[in-house]
Amino acid sequence: MAQGKKYELRVVDNGGEWTAEIVRKISNRKSKVTQHQAGFGSEAEARQWGEQTLASFQQQQAQRNERKAVQRTEREAQALRQAAKKQAEREAKAQDEDDEFDQ
């Protein structure tokens, strides 16, 4: 599966006033404006704000993804420990029942 840019910067001219938008690509056909700022006097100002905000936004997303990955690994490890504990309890119970049956 090809990986494209998830977020991009779009600068729009609104009749002499510039707007910078950070756009998230949802699917091949759909996109959504995540952040926007209007009222810039020039395209350069809008682009500068957009590039700084986009870099900051992507850094925050990367940190969030790392935190979520750590939490996911901890949850999976906890689930494995619980499954192993339940399996050990089942085996111990089965062993006890076999011992009682043998007597």
Q: Are 34 and 81 in contact (CB under 8 A)?
A: no
What pLDDT does residue 52 have? 94
What pLDDT does residue 1 have? 43
Structure-derived torsion over alpha carbons of residues 79, 82, 88, 94, reported in degrees to the nearest 10: -100
Note whether residue 70 is domain-resident: yes
Note whether residue 11 is domain-resident: yes
Cα–Cα dist 43/7, whole Å: 19
**What pTM was computed for the model?**
0.66
Domain containing 85: what range? 7-102
Note whether residue 1 is domain-resident: no
Note whether residue 69 is domain-resident: yes
Q: C-alpha distances in angstroms, 74 versus 39, 68, 90?
A: 45, 10, 24
Note whether residue 98 is domain-resident: yes
For the chain, which residues score pLDDT lower than 50? Answer: 1-2
Note whether residue 2 is domain-resident: no
The total number of structural domains in the chain stands at 1
pLDDT (tens digit per residue) in 46-60? 999 999 999 998 899
Note whether residue 19 is domain-resident: yes
